[in-house]
């Protein structure tokens, strides 16, 4: 029995020694001068005497007369002299060198954001024995004093802009785009319910708030958090404008330089592509964008959690208070974004209103002498697995037209291609921007056995029961949506009268 007691005592003794060693390593890594104050020792260090004098000049020395703990990043005299030779000092700059808690470098490995006295965040980073603040090296650190400690810095720290502020300076195109995403919304937490309307919906004593949908969807670029950061790769103004100049040259005609490229196109087409490819959660280092081998590709999860292929090399890493910002090594705009055409899928014009019930969207104008509804029909051989179909009574001679707009197009000559079904039709006048561009009789499909000659000279052949016909469109003179109208003129000779649209495509014509 005594033998077992001795073993237990030995185990406890070993544990006590081990715990005491860990305690010592954790708390006694630096000597603690518990009877000395931080301010006393700052004043006694000759290497930072000029920084101390500035603290006195701006009355920040009073901070250290309390028991509140502080950590100070103190630039050495030479570093301060070099900085003052070209810059001025402010209370905000000095406050950025102070944080309101103890910061022990031995307890940190990797990156940690620390909030400064200005409420801006600085990045404290330790890699082995190398310690930096915002990328600036620390030459040494003091012991722990009664109310804090200090680090000697090789340079002066400057408050970092957040990502929004950074791009406000380097490329306002992005910050202006972010500003357009402000949206008014009901703040339900602050609003009080006061009753119900006739449909049973709650009526609120409304308190309105502004939500920025960009920050909601991508990243809160104009806010700072201790544990949340992001990375944005976006070209600086000069590189962005040069790429637009190349685009303007390719478009020709009225497009001379970047100032002629419509903002609408930049916001609706270019910007979503760049943001999808260039916004990421967390602080991404340059090596994460590097291809592993010439045969491989670099892939990263973007802010939406989608895997995107990285086709560019980011450069000029800039540290912001809430993440990293990069420029492109060589920014170009894919010509497929502006030299290509556009496609209108037939089913994009209709909305499902019930089980197998559909109606035209409000922005589609229909004039009809009969009550007939469109039908969205699944067909696995269709462009997007669906078509829209409107069926008329046999021999219908009344009025029917449908009018809608395409996505925005650049001004140029186009081939407008209509993919439709050979079993339904009639005679139609087709208008673009209120100009008649073609009168088409679906009997052509029967007369030519489904073989249709394009305006370009090539041949359209049947694809099952589908086929195409086309026409030139030469009246797109401004960037914007194109107005399209199908106007039924009569039954022609096809057996089933009606309208079928799989898709309508605008393809730039060769001059």
Shared domain for 94 and 67, answered yes or no, is yes
Provide the domain limits for residue 103.
32-153
Last residue in a domain, options 153, 175, 199: 153
Shared domain for 197 and 244, answered yes or no, is yes
Task: Report whether 134 contacts 23 (CB < 8 A).
Answer: no
Which phi and psi angles does 358 have, rounded to 5°?
Answer: -135, 160
- Kindly state whether residue 158 falls inside one of the protein's structural domains: no
pLDDT at 437: 97
Q: What is the tally of structural domains in the chain?
A: 4
pLDDT confidence band for 505 (50 / 70 / 90): very high
Shared domain for 313 and 223, answered yes or no, is yes
Which phi and psi angles does 282 have, rounded to 5°?
Answer: 75, 175
The answer to which of 74-88, 99-113, 179-193, 460-474 has the lowest mean pLDDT is 179-193
- Kindly state whether residue 291 falls inside one of the protein's structural domains: yes
pLDDT at 2: 54
Nearest to 325 by CA among 230, 467, 245: 230
Euclidean distance between CA atoms 343 and 502, whole angstroms: 10
- Is the pLDDT at 340 greater than 70? The verdict is yes
Last residue in a domain, options 289, 314, 335: 335
pTM of the predicted structure, to 2 decimals: 0.80
Shared domain for 358 and 479, answered yes or no, is yes
Q: How far is CA 181 from CA 176, 197, 211, 218, 409, in A?
A: 9, 30, 8, 12, 23
Shared domain for 307 and 179, answered yes or no, is yes
The residue-averaged pLDDT of 422-426 equals 87
Shared domain for 189 and 328, answered yes or no, is yes
Shared domain for 20 and 38, answered yes or no, is no
Q: How far is CA 136 from CA 24, 55, 215, 344, 378, in A?
A: 30, 21, 30, 54, 62
pLDDT confidence band for 25 (50 / 70 / 90): very low
Shared domain for 183 and 316, answered yes or no, is yes
Shared domain for 101 and 225, answered yes or no, is no
Euclidean distance between CA atoms 114 and 72, whole angstroms: 12
Task: Report whether 215 contacts 223 (CB < 8 A).
Answer: yes
- Kindly state whether residue 160 falls inside one of the protein's structural domains: no
Q: Would you state the structure tokens that stand for residue 368, as one six-digit string? A: 């009809």
DSSP 447: H
Euclidean distance between CA atoms 436 and 417, whole angstroms: 15
- Burial, 375: exposed, middle or buried (Cβ in 10 Å; 0-12, 13-18, 19+)? middle
The residue-averaged pLDDT of 335-353 equals 93
Q: Find the CATH number of the domain harbouring 410.
A: 2.60.120.260
Q: From the centroid of its chain, how far is CA 256?
A: 29
pLDDT at 28: 45
Tens of pLDDT, residue by residue over 221-261, are: 999 998 899 999 999 999 999 999 999 999 988 899 999 99
Task: Count CB-CB contacts under 10 A for residue 11.
Answer: 10
Shared domain for 361 and 302, answered yes or no, is no
Q: From the centroid of its chain, how far is CA 454?
A: 41
Q: How far is CA 387 from CA 25, 188, 195, 250, in A?
A: 72, 41, 44, 35
- Is the pLDDT at 153 greater than 70? The verdict is yes
Shared domain for 139 and 238, answered yes or no, is no
Those residues whose C-beta lies under 8 Å from the C-beta of residue 232, and which sit 6 or more positions away, are 163, 167, 174, 219, 221, 278, 279, 280, 323, 324, 325, 326
Nearest to 243 by CA among 274, 289, 280, 279: 274
CA angle (234 as vertex; 320, 111 as ends), nearest 5: 30
Shared domain for 482 and 448, answered yes or no, is yes
The torsion region of residue 59 among left (phi > 0), alpha (psi -120 to 50) and beta comes to: left
pLDDT at 4: 54
Q: Find the CATH number of the domain harbouring 105.
A: 2.30.180.10
- Kindly state whether residue 2 falls inside one of the protein's structural domains: yes
Task: Report whether 223 contacts 229 (CB < 8 A).
Answer: no
pLDDT at 469: 95
- Kindly state whether residue 416 falls inside one of the protein's structural domains: yes
What are the residue ranges of helices labelled H in 73-127?
77-84, 91-95
Nearest to 87 by CA among 134, 155, 138, 2: 155
- Kindly state whether residue 214 falls inside one of the protein's structural domains: yes
Tens of pLDDT, residue by residue over 444-499, are: 888 888 899 999 999 999 998 899 999 999 999 999 999 999 999 999 888 889 99
- Is the pLDDT at 23 greater than 60? The verdict is no
- Kindly state whether residue 52 falls inside one of the protein's structural domains: yes
Nearest to 54 by CA among 86, 88, 84, 89: 89
The residue with tokens 């929004």 is 164
Last residue in a domain, options 335, 357, 379: 335
pLDDT at 178: 96
pLDDT at 386: 92
pLDDT at 78: 96
Euclidean distance between CA atoms 469 and 503, whole angstroms: 11
- Kindly state whether residue 94 falls inside one of the protein's structural domains: yes
Task: Count CB-CB contacts under 10 A for residue 184.
Answer: 8
């Amino acid at each position: 029995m005594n033998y077992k007691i001795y073993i237990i005592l030995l185990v406890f003794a070993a544990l006590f020694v081990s715990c005491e060693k860990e305690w010592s390593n954790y708390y006694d890594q630096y000597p603690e001068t518990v009877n000395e104050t931080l301010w006393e020792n700052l004043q006694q260090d000759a290497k930072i005497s000029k920084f101390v004098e500035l603290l006195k000049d701006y009355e920040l020395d009073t901070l250290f007369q309390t028991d509140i703990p502080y950590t100070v990043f103190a630039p050495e005299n030479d570093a301060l002299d070099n900085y003052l030779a070209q810059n001025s000092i402010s209370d905000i700059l000095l406050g950025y060198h102070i944080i309101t808690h103890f910061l022990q470098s031995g307890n940190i490995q990797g990156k940690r954001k620390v909030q400064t006295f200005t409420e801006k965040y600085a990045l404290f980073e330790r890699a082995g024995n190398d310690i930096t603040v915002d990328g600036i090296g620390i030459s040494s650190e003091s012991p722990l004093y009664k109310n804090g400690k200090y680090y000697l810095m090789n340079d002066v720290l400057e408050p970092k802009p957040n990502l929004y502020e950074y791009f406000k300076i380097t490329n306002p195109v992005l910050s202006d785009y972010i500003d357009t995403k402000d949206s008014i919304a009901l703040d339900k937490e602050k609003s009080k319910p006061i009753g119900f309307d006739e449909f049973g919906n709650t009526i609120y004593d409304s308190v309105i708030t502004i939500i920025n949908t960009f920050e909601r969807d991508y990243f809160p670029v104009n806010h700072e958090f201790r544990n949340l950061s992001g990375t944005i790769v976006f070209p600086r103004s000069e590189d962005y404008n040069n790429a637009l100049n190349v685009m303007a040259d390719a478009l020709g005609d009225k497009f001379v330089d970047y100032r002629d490229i419509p903002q609408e196109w930049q916001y609706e087409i270019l910007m979503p592509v760049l943001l999808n490819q260039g916004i990421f959660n967390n602080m991404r280092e340059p090596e994460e964008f590097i291809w592993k081998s010439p045969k491989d590709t670099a892939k990263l999860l973007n802010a939406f959690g989608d895997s995107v292929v990285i086709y560019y090399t980011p450069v000029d890493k800039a540290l912001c208070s809430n993440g990293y910002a990069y420029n492109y090594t060589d920014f170009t705009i894919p010509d497929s974004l502006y030299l290509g055409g556009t496609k209108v899928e037939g089913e994009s014009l209709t909305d499902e209103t019930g089980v197998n019930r559909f109606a035209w969207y409000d922005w589609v104008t229909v004039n009809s002498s009969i009550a007939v509804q469109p039908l969205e029909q699944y067909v696995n051989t269709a462009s997007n697995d669906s078509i829209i179909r409107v069926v008329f009574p046999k021999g219908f001679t009344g009025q029917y037209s449908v009018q809608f707009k395409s996505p925005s197009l650049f001004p140029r000559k186009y081939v407008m291609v209509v993919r439709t079904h050979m079993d339904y039709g009639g005679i139609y006048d087709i208008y673009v921007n209120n100009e008649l561009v073609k009168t088409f009789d679906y009997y052509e499909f029967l007369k030519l056995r489904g073989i249709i000659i394009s305006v370009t000279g090539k041949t359209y052949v049947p694809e099952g029961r589908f086929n195409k016909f086309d026409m030139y469109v030469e009246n797109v003179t401004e960037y914007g949506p194109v107005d399209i109208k199908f106007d039924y003129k009569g039954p022609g000779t096809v057996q089933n009268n009606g309208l079928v649209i799989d898709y309508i495509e605008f393809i730039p014509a060769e001059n």
